[in-house]
């Protein structure tokens, strides 16, 4: 991974613009701490005399994973007519090299960098380039022969990329929003799976797997391949295996839940197989051949315990990091600056990941494998219990996958790259997706009566008791959510802080202050103000999704249950009832919880009571109300465009709709899954199916007007 | 190394202030990429950005004494921490240490010895102690100022201490470098010099006294070896900067010999060299590396890459001194590559030219007394030049540079030698730095090849490639017009830039650090080829030239003749004579 910044047709004195590009590129230097380079080329077509000069710039901040000694960018083809900056990893680069050599015998590659194939492929195959790459990437290249700019982003948007348009007619591409926001009047996410060519000025989708084209066909078509456990397992193993390509030490993020544990289990087997012939890739400085694994949490958190068990089962070289609530709160301004979103659950889950990435980097590790994507592919969210039929189930997984670049991909990429750590996500492997999304969705449907819990086929594929990948209780137990798993005090602490920072009056005014995608909770309001201080432009706010969602569903899935109807953004508790363990635990707590739930249904305040109760011990005393200047001070650093008090009132554009579910959290712990509960009713008491973790929060969040968001998000990461 | 920021006696103890301090501390996060710590005690804030060299797993800061009444935020390395721990344990049996960090001793020492603590430390450091028992604080900086630190005063009466100026410049109405070798105590509100070596006291005595110890090569060698070896204390991989000149080669040689003798968990010593392709340093560094058998890494940069980095270099090193910027840029670029290889600490050769009078103009020293006095003056100013460069150009990327030539014990030995021994007299074969060369001239078991040991080194900013300085000048030529330079005296009445290059750097500096106090931290004044103002009087030929080029002294140096002739413009040769 790296940071790229490309400017096409910038008008002005080349030295001045160059200096500006150098400065802007520096804003994403965290993505590429190892080296920088800027390439400047005169534009083929110049403006009329007297209107300045047009130049193209390609700037690159490099994180060296492959061939650290020689792979500095930009990269060139043989005669220098194609210049490319690439952020990403190309897993099939060896095969592509062979292909290029077959077409252009005698080519001498300058490095072993996996990315060096890009300019040559473009030379030979032109715009087909993007579809030939297996990996995750953002590419910007200049073709000096035609003067064209070509840009592409990987199929699912694992790698972040933005595109913007400057007032002078320039086109900007950047790995992160922060580099182009001050220069562009319009900007947006670069659509994943697309390429853009300045020759035509159009975005073209090059990624057209069957599950996309079937989804878009009229009438819609659905996959029908029978579930083949071995095929699914092998596809996933292959996805992990190709991601172990690295010339530097690497590790795996291990929260102890199903997804990350599977990644760790497969990686650890492969490592063992490889170290048999003497290459212990992830050995780190010590030179052992155990896989490095990493976990973070508040002291004593569920994740730390779960991961420790899995790590000891797998025999990884495990590292536990703990953080305090205060450290998390202190980092929040940084986190939002880095991840460039105000989505509540994304911010919550990004913070521990951000802190962990710093520690991982401090240990000299530059690359980690991570478990994002499984819940989308296999329908792991609670609301999938309610899928009315397999067709709807499948369609929802497709919709979720297509939105992932705004949520988990964005988090996994930016929270780690904030410290120059690259996260690779095998569940979003192209070939694996074709297998997993080709399975008849009837196999994915949840039916607890027949023992089919969420992600059943994935679990089943790795259920090989004779040579177990994981302990049975890990394989068959539902995982804590990331932002819950790090410790129950985390979310409570965030809410308590929000309570201090945002008054009831301020929140009541939120619809005027933020007419688009208005924050519905104090926590959301807080994040929004911090975001705004870093990214004051309307276009920046527009990159962040909002809109109706049930427990992180897309709007389409929000119509699955009549009980959800009419609620714009019902809390996750509406679906929580489908979840046995949650219900059981809630009943165990009935004495207190239910009563509180019931009584708090109209008030928005019980959450504060609960939150402050649980965090009183850990939060240092602070003045009760701190005013917005405290929020803004978080952002008040030199290179962040400081927007103290600068709020463009009512700077409205079209509301961000249809963005799919917010970033979400995963379901509450499911320790003892017994049977499917009666469908959750609409009554407040029936809604009390919360875990003890969530009870206080849920109680508050379900509370009435306007239906608050965070509990919904709780059900998904 | 790390980054520290302390705000004491603020009138504001709010959440907003905490956030402000965090945001300011972030500006020096490059110094401590590994973790951040923040301790608020009422209206006092201690922030820390950590680079973990010792005890990476548990040494997060701030650090405390046992009952947590004393809080300390430290940037530096304490080489004698084991002895000090021992001393603490003897004085206070049963004392519990919370970490294995070398810096933790400071909190305990302060508890036991109070303000004496700074004088007890052997290493390089900048730290702030907050004593919550009586709400006082104490700050100190190492003897020579190897570690950078600034102090400032806010409008509300708060006192600010920070590793780099960029953190406090916006909040203080006055600020300055924290004087090296001093501590500041809030009890008295005064700076006290705790570092009072013989060569300082003699220098200040009236009448001035001079050292007279006979030159003992073995003693000098052993002192330097001890200095290098104690700097190899590290829990993470480290290396050595190797330009192939005398000073860096000696450091590399001693380190490599120790590793060869005792082994290392990280295998062979890493050595690093930077240059434009084909530069003299790259060749020389390679030759020495081959001789020593180090794991050598060469890094190349282009003039354009260097120019692209200039603004950032100035932002990092916080000076507009021309030669410092020229030499800092390659070092800055190299540090990034070093860090990319996973190395966090390097040994470096700064200080030798000051201790032994290695600059060209020392040829003209009228007497051994003047020679010696000049070395003392140079040493006392070093924190504004090479220490600042070595510290900030590397810490820009979280790489810590350690400088064995500025070791306290070594300085005591080297500065006590009769300066007659240091005087340059080519007719007797005594070239610059003769006594240090002689000390390591052991042909039976050579530290270095004879041609390296006895050859004068290229200057750093020239050694990286001759076109580097020319490239900078050419670029400055495009940035600054003749008109602008002519009116420089009005634009910058203080410390006026005299060349286009200097003017260019000044404008960049000003864009990052517009405050007058910031400008005042940068030295100026008359100088001959980097001499102090006093030494500029040594030769009548220099008189009347406010800022003569090094060519005025170049004549004393055989090989410099050629390069001086080659350079139509006298300026580079001037700088050639100094880092």
Q: How far is residue B51's CA from residue B34's CA, in Å, rounded to a whole number?
A: 5
**What per-residue confidence (pLDDT) applies to B459?**
55
**What per-residue confidence (pLDDT) applies to B544?**
56
Locate the chain B residue with the closest alpha carbon to A329: B19
Same domain, A190 and A329: no
Q: What percent of chain A has pLDDT over 90?
A: 58
**What per-residue confidence (pLDDT) applies to A479?**
52
Closest CA to B129 of B165, B183, B81, B66: B183
A630 interfacial to chain B (CB closer than 8 Å): yes
**What per-residue confidence (pLDDT) applies to B234?**
85
Characterize A101-117 residue by residue with b for buried, 16 or more Cβ atoms within 10 angstroms of its Cβ, and e for exposed: eeeeeeeebeeebbbbb
Helix (H, G, I), strand (E, B) or coil at A251: strand
Closest CA to A85 of A34, A151, A26, A129: A151
* A373 token code pair: 């994507």
* A237 token code pair: 């193993």
* pLDDT at residue A713 is higher than 90: no
Residue A615 domain flag: no
Closest CA to A687 of A716, A661, A666, A712: A712
Tell me the mean pLDDT in the region B74-90. Answer: 94
Check if B3-195 and B200-480 are the same fold: no
Q: Which of A162, A179, A207 is the last residue of a domain?
A: A207
Q: Where is A492: in which H helix or E strand? A: helix A489-501
Mode of pairing for the β-strands spanning B238-241 and B345-347: parallel
Locate the chain B residue with the closest alpha carbon to A249: B342
Q: CB of A541 within 8 A of CB of A535?
A: yes
> Which residue's entry shows tokens 């006590």?
B416
Q: Which long-range contacts (CB under 8 A, 24 or more apart) does B105-112 make?
A: B105/B78, B105/B81, B106/B63, B106/B72, B106/B74, B106/B78, B107/B63, B107/B64, B107/B65, B107/B70, B107/B71, B107/B72, B108/B65, B108/B66, B109/B84, B110/B65, B110/B70, B110/B72, B110/B138, B111/B65, B111/B69, B111/B70, B112/B88
**What per-residue confidence (pLDDT) applies to A612?**
36
Same domain, A150 and A225: no
Same domain, A149 and A218: no
Q: Which residues of B touch A633 (CB under 8 A)?
A: 16-17, 19-20, 23
Q: What percent of chain A has pLDDT over 70?
A: 75
**What per-residue confidence (pLDDT) applies to B567?**
39
Locate the chain A residue with the closest alpha carbon to B302: A37
Locate the chain A residue with the closest alpha carbon to B338: A34
Q: How far is residue A267's CA from residue A244's CA, in Å, rounded to a whole number?
A: 8
Characterize A25-34 residue by residue with b for buried, 16 or more Cβ atoms within 10 angstroms of its Cβ, and e for exposed: bbbbbbbbbb
Same domain, A186 and A229: no
Q: State how many domains chain A has.
A: 2
Report CA-CA distances (Å) from A156 to A159, A160, A400, A429, B171.
8, 10, 11, 9, 45
Q: How far is residue A487's CA from residue B331's CA, in Å, rounded to a whole number?
A: 44
Q: How far is residue A259's CA from residue A256's CA, in Å, rounded to a whole number?
A: 8
Q: Which residues of A touch B45 (CB under 8 A)?
A: none
Residue A483 domain flag: yes
* pLDDT at residue B549 is higher than 50: no
CA B177 to mean position of chain CA atoms: 13
Q: Is B528 annotated as a binding residue?
A: no
Q: Which of residues 313-372 of A touch B (CB under 8 A)?
A: 326-327, 330-331, 333-334, 358-359, 361-364
Closest CA to A7 of A155, A171, A138: A171
Tell me the mean pLDDT in the region A450-474. Answer: 93
Q: CB of B532 within 8 A of CB of B374?
A: yes
Question: What are residue B478's DSSP bridge partners?
Answer: none
Q: For the segment B304-340, what is each residue's pLDDT rounded down to a tens digit?
A: 999 999 999 999 999 999 999 999 999 999 999 999 9
B266 interfacial to chain A (CB closer than 8 Å): yes
Residue A638 domain flag: no
What is chain B's Cα-based Rg? 23
Q: For the segment B270-297, what is each residue's pLDDT rounded down to a tens digit?
A: 999 999 998 988 999 999 999 999 999 9
User: In the 8-state DSSP scheme, what is residue B232?
Assistant: T
Angle in degrees, 0-180, between the axes of helices A117-125 and A93-103, rounded to the nearest 10: 40
Dihedral angle over CA of B41, B47, B53, B59, nearest 10: 20
Sequential DSSP letters for A545-559? --S--STT--TTGGG
Domain that holds residue A47: 3-207
Q: How far is residue A490's CA from residue A665's CA, in Å, rounded to a whole number?
A: 13
Q: Which of A573, A596, A631 is the last residue of a domain?
A: A573
Other CB atoms within 10 Å distance of the CB of residue A312: 11
**What per-residue confidence (pLDDT) applies to A609?**
34
* pLDDT at residue B196 is higher than 60: yes
Instruction: Report phi then psi at B74, rounded to 5.
Output: -130, 140
E strand residue ranges, A63-96: 75-76, 82-90
**What per-residue confidence (pLDDT) applies to A699?**
34
Q: Is B241 annotated as a binding residue?
A: yes
Query: In which order are the strands placed within the sheet that holds A194-197?
Result: A75-76, A82-90, A135-143, A148-153, A194-197, A202-205
CATH number at residue A114: 3.60.20.10
Q: Where is A316: in which H helix or E strand? A: none
Q: Which residues of A touch B311 (CB under 8 A)?
A: 19, 22-23
Cβ–Cβ gap B15/A362 under 8 Å: no
Q: CB of B141 within 8 A of CB of B182?
A: yes
Tell me the mean pLDDT in the region A31-35. Answer: 92
Residue range B200-480 forms a domain whose CATH class is alpha beta
* pLDDT at residue B563 is higher than 50: no
Report CA-CA distances (Å) from A180 to A192, A653, B40.
19, 20, 36
B437 interfacial to chain A (CB closer than 8 Å): no
Known catalytic residues of B?
2
Locate the chain B residue with the closest alpha carbon to A67: B341
Q: Read off the pLDDT band of A677 (50, 70, 90).
A: very low
Residue A637 domain flag: no
How many Cα neighbours within 13 Å face the side chain of B420?
6
Helix (H, G, I), strand (E, B) or coil at B343: coil
Q: Which of residues 481-540 of A touch B (CB under 8 A)?
A: 500-501
Q: Which residues of A touch B14 (CB under 8 A)?
A: 623, 626, 630
Angle in degrees, 0-180, between the axes of helices B303-317 and B386-395, rounded to the nearest 10: 110
Same domain, A526 and A506: yes
Cβ–Cβ gap B237/A636 under 8 Å: no
Q: Which of A520, A539, A573 is the last residue of a domain?
A: A573
- How much of chain B is in helix, strand and coil states, percent to nearest 5? 45, 15, 35
Tell me the mean pLDDT in the region B189-208. Answer: 96
Handedness of CA A351, A352, A354, A359 (dihedral sign): positive
Other CB atoms within 10 Å distance of the CB of residue B180: 26
Same domain, A191 and A218: no
**What per-residue confidence (pLDDT) applies to A375?**
93
Average pLDDT value over all residues in chain A: 79
Show me where the domains of chain B are located: 3-195, 200-480
Q: How far is residue A287's CA from residue A293's CA, in Å, rounded to a whole number?
A: 15
Known catalytic residues of A?
2
pTM: 0.83
Mutate to test the interface with B, among A637, A639, A642, A645 (most CBs of B within 10 A): A637
Q: Is B349 annotated as a binding residue?
A: yes
* pLDDT at residue A520 is higher than 60: yes
Q: For the segment A318-372, what is each residue's pLDDT rounded down to a tens digit?
A: 999 999 999 999 999 999 999 999 999 899 999 999 999 999 999 889 999 999 9
CA angle, A288 then A291 then A292, to 5°: 95
Instruction: Report phi then psi at B556, rounded to 5.
Output: -75, -10
**What per-residue confidence (pLDDT) applies to A536?**
95
Cβ–Cβ gap B15/A630 under 8 Å: yes
Q: Read off the pLDDT band of A43 (50, 70, 90).
A: confident
Q: Where is A348: in which H helix or E strand? A: helix A344-362
Q: Which residues of A touch B35 (CB under 8 A)?
A: 358-359, 362
Q: CB of B88 within 8 A of CB of B95?
A: yes
Mutate to test the interface with A, among B13, B340, B398, B472 (most CBs of A within 10 A): B340
Tell me the mean pLDDT in the region A488-512. Answer: 93
* pLDDT at residue A113 is higher than 80: yes
Range with lowest mean pLDDT among B32-41, B84-93, B387-396, B534-543: B534-543
Residue A687 domain flag: no
Pairwise pLDDT comparison (A2 vs B556), residue with the higher score = A2
Query: In which order are the strands placed within the sheet that holds B190-193?
Result: B63-64, B70-78, B123-131, B136-141, B182-185, B190-193
Residue A581 domain flag: no
Q: Which residues of B touch A33 (CB under 8 A)?
A: 336, 339-340, 397
* pLDDT at residue A650 is higher than 60: no
CATH number at residue A421: 3.40.50.620
Mode of pairing for the β-strands spanning B295-300 and B270-275: parallel
Residue A716 domain flag: no
B166 interfacial to chain A (CB closer than 8 Å): yes
Q: How far is residue B440's CA from residue B214's CA, in Å, rounded to a whole number?
A: 17
Helix (H, G, I), strand (E, B) or coil at B551: helix
**What per-residue confidence (pLDDT) applies to A565?**
63
Pairwise pLDDT comparison (A560 vs A514), residue with the higher score = A514
Same domain, A399 and A364: yes
Q: For the segment A131-164, what is each residue's pLDDT rounded down to a tens digit?
A: 999 999 999 999 988 888 999 999 999 999 999 9
Q: Which of residues 229-288 of A touch B (CB under 8 A)?
A: 248, 285
Q: Read off the pLDDT band of A644 (50, 70, 90).
A: very low
Q: Read off the pLDDT band of A276 (50, 70, 90).
A: low
Cβ–Cβ gap B340/A15 under 8 Å: no
Close Cβ partners of A274 (under 8 Å, ≥ 6 residues apart):
A244, A280, A281
Q: Read off the pLDDT band of A535 (50, 70, 90).
A: very high
Closest CA to A68 of A288, A359, A363, A364: A364
Mode of pairing for the β-strands spanning B182-185 and B136-141: antiparallel
Same domain, A229 and A160: no
Same domain, A248 and A184: no
Same domain, A370 and A490: yes
Same domain, A222 and A200: no
Q: CB of A162 within 8 A of CB of A173?
A: yes
* pLDDT at residue A579 is higher than 50: no
Q: How far is residue B346's CA from residue B231's CA, in Å, rounded to a whole number?
A: 9
Q: For the segment B8-53, what is each residue's pLDDT rounded down to a tens digit?
A: 999 999 889 999 999 999 999 999 999 999 999 999 999 999 998 8
Mode of pairing for the β-strands spanning A250-253 and A292-297: parallel
CA angle, A106 then A109 then A115, to 5°: 135
* B50 token code pair: 């950590």
A36 interfacial to chain B (CB closer than 8 Å): yes
Cβ–Cβ gap B38/A333 under 8 Å: no
Locate the chain B residue with the closest alpha carbon to A637: B23
Handedness of CA B349, B392, B577, B178 (dihedral sign): negative
Cβ–Cβ gap A64/B340 under 8 Å: yes
Tell me the mean pLDDT in the region A297-304. Answer: 90
**What per-residue confidence (pLDDT) applies to A64?**
86
* pLDDT at residue A701 is higher than 70: no
Question: What are residue A162's DSSP bridge partners?
Answer: A174, A189
Tell me the mean pLDDT in the region B398-417. Answer: 97
CATH topology for B3-195 is 3.60.20
Q: Which residues of B touch A630 (CB under 8 A)?
A: 14-16, 19
* pLDDT at residue B566 is higher than 60: no
Q: Read off the pLDDT band of A483 (50, 70, 90).
A: low
Residue A620 domain flag: no
* pLDDT at residue B98 is higher than 50: yes
Closest CA to B329 of B353, B297, B354, B305: B305
Pairwise pLDDT comparison (B441 vs A281), residue with the higher score = B441
Cβ–Cβ gap B340/A18 under 8 Å: no
Query: In which order are the strands placed within the sheet that holds A171-174?
Result: A35-42, A54-62, A2-11, A171-174, A162-166, A184-189
């Amino acid at each position: 991974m790296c940071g790229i910044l490309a400017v096409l047709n910038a008008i002005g004195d080349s030295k001045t613009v160059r200096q500006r590009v150098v400065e802007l590129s520096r804003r994403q230097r965290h993505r590429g701490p190892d080296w920088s380079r800027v390439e400047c080329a005169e534009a083929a077509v110049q403006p009329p005399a007297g209107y300045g000069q047009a130049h193209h710039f390609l700037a690159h901040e490099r994180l060296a994973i492959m061939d650290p000694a020689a792979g500095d960018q930009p990269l060139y083809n043989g005669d220098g007519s194609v210049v490319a900056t690439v952020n990403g990893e190309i897993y099939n680069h060896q095969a592509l090299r062979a292909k290029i050599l077959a077409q252009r015998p005698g080519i001498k590659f300058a490095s072993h960098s996996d990315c060096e194939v890009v300019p040559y492929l473009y030379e030979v195959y032109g715009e087909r380039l993007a579809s030939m790459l297996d990996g995750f990437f953002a590419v910007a290249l200049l073709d000096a022969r035609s003067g064209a700019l070509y840009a592409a982003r990987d199929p699912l948007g694992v790698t972040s990329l933005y595109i913007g348009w400057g007032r002078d007619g320039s086109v900007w591409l950047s790995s992160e929003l922060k580099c182009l926001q001050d220069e562009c009047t319009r900007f947006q996410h670069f659509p994943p799976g697309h390429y853009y060519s300045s020759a035509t000025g159009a975005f073209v989708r090059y990624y057209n797997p069957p599950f996309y084209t079937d989804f878009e066909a009229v009438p819609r078509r659905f996959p029908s391949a029978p579930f083949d456990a071995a095929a699914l397992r092998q596809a996933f193993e292959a996805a992990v295996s190709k991601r172990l390509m690295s010339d530097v030490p690497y590790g795996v993020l291990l929260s102890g839940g199903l997804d990350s544990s599977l990644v760790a289990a497969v990686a650890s087997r492969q490592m063992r197989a490889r170290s048999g012939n003497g290459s212990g890739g992830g050995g780190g400085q010590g030179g052992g051949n155990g896989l490095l694994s990493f976990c973070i949490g508040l002291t004593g958190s569920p994740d730390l315990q779960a991961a420790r068990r899995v790590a000891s089962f797998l025999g990884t070289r495990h590292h536990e990091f703990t953080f305090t609530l205060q450290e998390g709160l202190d980092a929040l301004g940084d986190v939002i600056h880095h991840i460039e979103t105000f989505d509540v659950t994304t911010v919550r889950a990004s913070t521990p990941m951000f802190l962990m990435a710093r520690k991982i980097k401090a240990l000299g590790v530059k690359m980690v494998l991570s478990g994002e994507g499984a819940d989308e592919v296999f329908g792991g969210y609670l609301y999938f219990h309610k899928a009315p039929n397999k067709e709807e189930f499948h369609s929802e997984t497709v919709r979720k996958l297509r939105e992932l670049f705004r949520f988990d991909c964005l988090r996994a990429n930016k929270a780690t790259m904030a410290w120059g750590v690259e996260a690779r996500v095998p569940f979003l492997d192209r070939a694996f997706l074709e297998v997993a999304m080709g399975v008849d969705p009837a196999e994915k449907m949840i039916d607890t009566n027949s023992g089919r819990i969420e992600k059943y086929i994935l679990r089943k594929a790795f259920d090989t008791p004779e040579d177990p990948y994981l302990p049975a209780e890990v394989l068959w137990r539902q995982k804590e959510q990331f932002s819950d798993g790090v410790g129950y005090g985390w979310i409570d602490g965030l809410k308590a802080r929000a309570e201090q920072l945002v008054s009831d009056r301020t929140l009541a005014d939120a619809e005027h202050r933020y007419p688009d995608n208005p924050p519905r909770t104090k926590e959301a309001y807080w994040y929004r103000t911090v975001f705004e201080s870093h990214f004051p432009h309307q276009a920046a706010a527009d990159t962040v999704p909002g809109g109706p969602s049930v427990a992180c569903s897309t709007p389409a899935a929000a119509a699955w249950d009549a009980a959800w109807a009419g609620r714009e953004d019902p809390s996750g508790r509406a679906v929580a009832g489908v979840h046995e363990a949650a219900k059981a635990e809630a009943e165990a707590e009935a004495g207190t919880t239910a009563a509180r739930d019931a009584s708090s249904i109209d008030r928005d305040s019980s959450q504060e009571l609960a939150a402050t109760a649980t965090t009183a011990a850990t939060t240092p005393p602070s003045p009760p109300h701190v005013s917005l200047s405290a929020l803004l001070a978080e952002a008040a650093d030199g290179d962040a465009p400081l927007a103290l008090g600068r709020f463009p009132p009512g700077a409205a554009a079209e509301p961000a709709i249809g963005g799919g579910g917010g970033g979400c959290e995963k379901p509450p712990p499911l320790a003892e899954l017994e049977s499917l509960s009666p469908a959750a009713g609409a009554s407040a008491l029936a809604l009390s199916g919360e875990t003890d973790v969530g009870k206080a929060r849920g109680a508050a969040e379900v509370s009435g007007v306007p239906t608050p968001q965070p509990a919904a998000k709780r059900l998904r990461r | 190394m790390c980054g520290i920021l302390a705000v004491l006696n603020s009138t504001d103890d709010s959440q907003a202030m905490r956030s402000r301090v965090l945001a300011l501390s972030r500006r020096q996060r490059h110094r401590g990429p590994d973790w951040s710590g923040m301790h608020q005690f009422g209206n006092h804030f201690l922030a820390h950005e950590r680079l973990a060299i010792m005890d990476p797993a548990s040494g997060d800061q701030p650090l405390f004494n046992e009952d947590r009444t004393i809080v300390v935020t430290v940037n530096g390395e304490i080489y004698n921490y084991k002895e000090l721990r021992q001393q603490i344990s003897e004085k206070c049996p049963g004392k519990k240490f919370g970490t294995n960090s070398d810096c933790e001793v400071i909190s305990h020492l302060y508890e036991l010895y109070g303000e004496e603590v700074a004088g007890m430390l052997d290493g390089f450091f900048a730290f702030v102690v907050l004593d919550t028992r009586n709400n006082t604080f104490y700050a100190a900086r190492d003897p020579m100022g190897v570690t950078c630190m600034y102090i400032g005063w806010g409008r509300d009466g708060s006192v600010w201490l920070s590793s780099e100026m960029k953190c406090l410049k916006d909040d203080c109405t006055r600020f300055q470098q924290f004087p090296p070798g001093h501590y500041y105590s809030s009890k008295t509100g005064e700076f006290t010099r705790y570092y009072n070596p013989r060569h300082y006291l003699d220098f200040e005595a009236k009448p001035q006294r001079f050292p007279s110890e006979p030159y003992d090569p073995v003693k000098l060698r052993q002192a330097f070896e001890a200095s290098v070896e104690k700097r190899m204390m590290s829990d993470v991989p480290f290396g050595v900067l190797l330009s192939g000149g005398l000073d860096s080669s000696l450091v590399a040689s001693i380190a490599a010999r120790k590793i060869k003798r005792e082994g290392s968990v990280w295998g062979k010593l890493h050595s690093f060299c930077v240059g434009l392709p084909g530069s003299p340093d790259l060749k020389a560094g390679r030759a020495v590396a081959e001789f020593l058998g180090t794991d050598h890494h060469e890094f190349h940069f282009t003039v354009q890459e260097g120019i692209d980095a200039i603004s950032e270099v100035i932002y990092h090193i916080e000076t507009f001194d021309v030669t410092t910027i020229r030499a800092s840029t390659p070092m800055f670029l190299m540090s990034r590559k070093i860090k990319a290889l996973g190395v966090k600490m390097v040994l470096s050769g700064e200080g030798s030219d000051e201790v032994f009078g290695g600059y060209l103009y020392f040829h003209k020293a009228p007497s051994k007394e003047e020679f010696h006095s000049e070395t003392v003056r140079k040493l006392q100013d070093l924190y504004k030049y090479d220490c600042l460069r070595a510290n900030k150009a590397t810490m820009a990327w979280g790489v810590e540079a350690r400088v064995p030539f500025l070791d306290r014990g070594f300085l005591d030995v080297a500065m006590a030698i009769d300066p007659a021994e240091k005087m340059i007299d080519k007719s007797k074969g005594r070239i610059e730095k003769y006594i240090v060369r002689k000390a390591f001239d052991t042909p039976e078991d050579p530290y270095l090849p004879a041609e390296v040991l006895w050859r004068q080194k290229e200057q750093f900013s020239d050694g990286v490639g001759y076109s580097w300085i020319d490239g900078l000048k050419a670029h400055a030529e495009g940035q600054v017009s003749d008109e602008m330079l002519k009116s420089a005296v009005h634009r910058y009445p203080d410390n006026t830039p005299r060349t286009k290059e200097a003017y260019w750097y000044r404008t960049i500096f000003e864009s990052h650090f517009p405050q007058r106090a910031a400008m005042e931290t940068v030295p100026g004044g008359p100088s001959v080829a980097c001499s102090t103002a006093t030494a500029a009087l040594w030769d009548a030929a220099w008189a009347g030239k406010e800022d003569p080029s090094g060519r005025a002294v170049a004549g004393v140096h055989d090989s410099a003749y050629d390069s001086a002739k080659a350079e139509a413009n006298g300026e580079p040769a001037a700088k050639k004579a100094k880092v």
